[in-house]
Amino acid sequence: MATVSGTDRLRDLHAFDDTKAGVKGLVDAGVTTIPYFFRHPPDPLPVASPSEAAAAIPLIDLAKADVDRDHVVSQVTAAAETVGFFQVVNHGVAGELMEAMLAAVRRFNEEPLEAKVPYYTRDVASKVRFSSNFDLFRSPAANWRDTLVIEMWPEPPSPEEIPPPCRGVLEEYAAAARRLGERLLELLSEGLGLPAGYLGREAGCTDGLSVAANYYPACPEPEATMGATKHADPSFLTVLLQDTSGGLQALLDQPRRRWVDVPPVAGALVVNVGDFLQLVSNDRLRSVEHRVLPTGAAGPARVSVACFFRVEYASTRPYVPVVVGGGGARAAAVYRGTTAGEFLAHFNGKGLDGRSALDHFRIPAAASSPPPPL
């Protein structure tokens, strides 16, 4: 590929963005070669075998908490401390609702362009925003996906502001996912030796909920790009609903550093620790990097719905590391305090560039001090 100047690249990115058609628009136009700004260099890390991957991501039955709560607390906490990713079944979100949510996202993305254009914006203050690549003008390479983000808590948009294909089902699904998130944070609080309501209420992990509905169109050159670049989530906790397409991979480092598939499991939801929870837990819980591979040209498009437990930009509430009890809790704060607005501004400002957003808030070892006691 010929070298493209920064000025020409910016011009081409703006031309793509100005169509408001996203990646789906490129596919609809019949492209057989992806634009150069979607091309990613090869990743040198290996991918785990299917048999290794099957054992790497814990699958936890939450119904067993009614019989042996301590065992489920131990399972959830161990997964959050070591892998950072796990899947849950018998989680209380109805299968019919999950299917309806995925179908609604697919309908919205596959509507005619004129129906989607009114929602296309890069204004992070908007409670409903549709775009392709939130970091389009900052990341080294664009990802092959379009995303609809809706801020559902604490002040959701009015039903009329939500795209018609998603109305009703989105509100119902977000409420069910929030109940699940509260339940998981109770289990994690107990696992850290804290009161059950600590992470959810006192630490503010349920202060906000953002729903990101992702659409990954079939790609004519899947080996040349990414559906989502390697990143960790700017959230406390993420609850992900994925379809049966596959493609989600977590970057694990035991017994060696490699990519591990997070396979679709019937009726399951994927849960992962986000950067905010790693910060608040003072590195006790792990926010793990992950990525999404593109869908091949044969398709169909991949659809997923991520519920991010995080607060909005406007929040001025400070988040600081805390002593979280025994079992390896650190005697000194690993991070400085921050607000959601500061953290999200840093995350969005750097884009998905392969660097951890947490590094910006990490305290040099010599300057660290004990975190505040509970």
- Give me the number of domains the chain comprises: 1
Residue 373 lies in a domain: no
DSSP 215-274: EE-B-S-GGGS-SEEEE--SSSEEEEEE-TT--EEEEE-SSSSEEEE----TT-EEEEE-
Cβ pair 275, 233 in contact under 8 A: yes
Average pLDDT, the chain: 92
Out of 8-22, 271-285, 327-341, 354-368, least confident range: 327-341
Does the residue 317 lie in any domain? Answer: yes
Minimal CA–CA distance to 361: which of 342, 108, 351? 342
Task: With respect to residue 1, please indicate whether it lies within any of the assigned structural domains.
Answer: no
For residue 220, count other CB atoms closer than 10 A to its CB. Answer: 18
pLDDT beyond 50 at 329: no
The verdict on residue 235 lying in a domain is yes
The model's pTM is 0.92
What percent of the chain is predicted at pLDDT more than 90?
79
Identify how many contiguous H helices and E strands the chain contains and give both numbers: 9, 14
CATH of residue 80's domain is 2.60.120.330
Task: Give me the residues paired with residue 270 across strands.
Answer: 87, 240
Residue 332 lies in a domain: yes
| CB 26, CB 35: distance < 8 Å | yes
Query: pLDDT tens for residues 181-202?
Result: 999 999 999 999 999 999 998 8
Specify if 213 maps to a domain.
Answer: yes
At residue 366, the pLDDT reads: 43
Helix axes 95-109, 169-191, angle to 10 degrees: 120
What is the tens place of the pLDDT at every residue in 161-184? 999 999 999 999 999 999 999 999
Euclidean distance between CA atoms 57 and 52, whole angstroms: 9
More confidently predicted of 337 and 14: 14
The answer to the question of residue 372 being in a domain is: no
User: How high is the pLDDT of residue 54?
Assistant: 79
Any domain includes 363: yes
Q: How far apart are CA 46 and CA 25, in angstroms?
A: 33
Q: Which residues, in sequence order, are bridge partners of residue 237?
A: 273, 309
- Domain hosting 301: range is 8-367
